[in-house]
């Protein structure tokens, strides 16, 4: 990367960045175009941000692509968006392999049409040996769905005797989430000027640094991503402790 305008410490990058990719529809409508045109251009930003995250050695990138609530949009948009997402993932498999990127999907895949689900599962299988960036697509995902599913599984395990109720703690609970094998994000970015979480990783975001930008997703490019990381690196993460404690810990490590 030439003329690096950002002050980024490569030793202190977030391990996991999560993104709510929002604003595709408004981006298109502002130009008098169909909302699907916005989603199509949003795919270009996905490519660019995935490439940038891989280049910088970020280990986990979660992209919120379709929420459980998005199934309630007009059928035309749901069909167009689902088709676009699944087609893109399928087409990108060779590039993912070339860049050592492993694809993961979190969400209720049972709600997807059968062929879309099988396309996704084969893309996941085809990249499972890659050891670079973990790209986690949140598709048909909602956090309340995920938490309720976890509770159901826990109840079943308690009932069958494989788990004792008194042994349930946050560490055990997290193994029942769809994100069990990923660390919690250190940074969550939401584009398009909305200040809400929209049912995304409610449990996992407990101590995540939140970054909101007015830039809509189709306009969100590498420089915006790096700007978010730079901003994140200026923050002091205290986890309930005092600023003084954090400074002392830093000096002694
Ligand atoms: C984000 O853009 C993509 C999805 C939520 C699927 P939107 O489609 O929500 O765009 P806006 O927020 O209506 O502009
Ligand atoms: C959140 O965006 C979901 C995704 C980005 C996939 P929405 O556009 O659906 O969120 P709300 O409805 O404005 O909260
Ligand atoms: Mg939106």
pLDDT tens digits along 169-187: 999 999 999 999 999 999 9
CATH code, 44: 3.40.1180.10
Q: 66: Cβ below 6 Å to ligand 1?
A: yes
Average pLDDT, the chain: 96
Tell me whether residue 17 is in a domain: yes
**Average pLDDT, stretch 22-50?**
98
Residue nearest to atom 13 of ligand 1 (CA): 25
pLDDT at 157 over 90: yes
Tell me whether residue 247 is in a domain: no
How far is the centre of ligand 1, averaged over its atoms, from the C-alpha of 234 (Å)?
A: 29
Ligand 2 atom nearest 138 alpha carbon: 6
pLDDT category at 2 given cuts 50, 70, 90 is very low
pLDDT at 214 over 60: yes
Number of domains in the chain: 1
Q: What is the pLDDT of residue 44?
A: 98
Tell me whether residue 3 is in a domain: no
Catalytic residue, chosen from 24, 41, 70, 104, is: 70
Instruction: Give the strand order in the sheet containing 102-106.
Output: 102-106, 134-141, 60-67, 16-20, 187-190, 209-212
Q: Is 70 a catalytic residue?
A: yes
pLDDT digits (tens, 9 = 90+) for 185-212: 999 999 999 999 999 999 999 999 999 9
**Alpha-carbon gap, residue 58 to 48, rounded angstroms:** 14
How far is the centre of ligand 2, averaged over its atoms, from the C-alpha of 245 (Å)?
A: 38
Residue nearest to atom 12 of ligand 2 (CA): 198
pLDDT at 5 over 90: no
Residue whose pair of structure tokens reads 């997807």 in the numeric block: 112
DSSP 194-218: ----TTSSTTTTTTPEEEE-SS-GG
Q: What is the pLDDT of residue 216?
A: 98
**Alpha-carbon gap, residue 64 to 136, rounded angstroms:** 9
Residue nearest to atom 3 of ligand 2 (CA): 67
Tell me whether residue 158 is in a domain: no
Boundaries of domain holding 18: 12-142+184-235
Tell me whether residue 204 is in a domain: yes
Tell me whether residue 250 is in a domain: no
Q: 70: Cβ below 6 Å to ligand 1?
A: yes
pLDDT category at 253 given cuts 50, 70, 90 is confident
Residue nearest to atom 1 of ligand 2 (CA): 198
How far is the centre of ligand 1, averaged over its atoms, from the C-alpha of 208 (Å)?
A: 23
Q: What would you measure as the largest C-alpha separation in the chain, in angstroms?
A: 60
**Alpha-carbon gap, residue 88 to 83, rounded angstroms:** 8
Share of the chain above pLDDT 90, in %: 96
Main-chain phi, psi angles of 3, to 5 degrees: 35, 65
Q: What is the pLDDT of residue 1?
A: 46
Tell me whether residue 218 is in a domain: yes
Tell me whether residue 216 is in a domain: yes
pLDDT category at 21 given cuts 50, 70, 90 is very high
pLDDT digits (tens, 9 = 90+) for 96-130: 999 999 999 999 999 999 999 999 999 999 999 99
């Amino acid at each position: 990367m030439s003329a690096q305008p950002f002050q980024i410490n490569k030793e202190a990058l977030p391990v996991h960045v999560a993104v709510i990719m929002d604003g595709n529809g408004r981006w298109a409508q502002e130009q008098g175009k169909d909302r699907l045109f916005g989603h199509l251009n949003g795919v270009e930003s996905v490519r660019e941000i995935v490439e940038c995250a891989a280049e910088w050695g970020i280990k986990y990138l979660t992209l919120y692509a379709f929420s459980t609530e998005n199934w309630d949009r007009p059928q035309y948009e749901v069909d167009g968006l689902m088709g676009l997402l699944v087609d893109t993932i399928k087409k990108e498999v060779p590039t993912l392999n070339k860049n050592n990127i492993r694809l993961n999907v979190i969400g209720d895949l049972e709600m997807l049409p059968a062929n879309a689900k099988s396309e996704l599962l084969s893309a996941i299988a085809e990249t499972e040996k890659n050891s670079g960036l973990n790209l986690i697509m949140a598709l048909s995902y909602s956090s309340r769905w995920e938490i309720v599913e976890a509770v159901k599984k826990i109840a079943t395990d308690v009932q069958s005797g494989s788990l004792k109720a008194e042994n349930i703690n946050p560490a055990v609970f997290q193994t029942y989430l769809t994100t069990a094998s990923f660390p919690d994000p250190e940074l969550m970015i939401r584009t398009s000027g909305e200040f809400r979480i929209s049912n995304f990783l409610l449990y996992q975001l407990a101590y995540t640094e939140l970054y909101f930008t007015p830039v809509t997703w189709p306009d969100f490019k590498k420089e915006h991503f790096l700007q978010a990381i730079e901003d994140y690196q200026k923050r002091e993460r205290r986890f309930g402790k005092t600023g003084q404690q954090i400074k002392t810990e830093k000096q002694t490590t």
